[in-house]
Amino acid sequence: MRPISSVCAKDQRIKENQGGALGRRIIRKRNDMTGKNVPSQNVLGTRPDWDTYFLDIVDLVSRRSTCLRRAVGAGLVRDKRILATGYNGAPSKLQHCLDIGCLREQLQVPSGERHELCRGLHAEQNAIIQAALHGVSTKDATLYCTNHPCVICAKMIINAGITHIVIRNGYSDKLAAEMFKEAAISVVQFNNF
């Protein structure tokens, strides 16, 4: 059995070495009563609930966005498993707005209008397309998204069989909200900052 001071020193070294890309580790300390190592504390604070966990993931996904106006991330989840993710940007094999500029900016199209005047796909569309491309059913899935879906995405979400939506930020599209209500798809805005 090691002396208590060396166990405490080891615990301190573990604490100092925490971090890394996704460095969420449980600190272990010796329980002096049983002599066994037991979980002590979560280094980053409290463990996130599932909604926070998946919203944080789609926040990360949104960082891949190539849109000059808004970075959006989306993820499809069923039974606490990620089915597909998507971010907004130009279709595969096409130049990105980051490289050639924004058509909507050039034409001075306001946000939320004339969606057809855009080279990019929305994050929700890309998540649904990725699931279809890889043969993954979206029936009864939950969509996690950084923003409330627009009306175009709402129609796709309804027909994809998605039954629940969790968002972090709103987006002013009353028709989309009305369609979700009519289709009995729940939308929950989850602000946990």
Residues identified as active-site: 124
In the chain, the amino acid numbered 69 is R
Q: Where are the beta strands (DSSP E) in the chain?
A: 26-30, 37-42, 73-78, 81-87, 142-147, 164-169, 186-189
Angle at CA of residue 188, ends 184 and 193, nearest 5°? 175
Query: What are the distances in angstroms from CA 58 to CA 11, 29, 111?
Result: 33, 34, 21
Amino acid at 95: Q
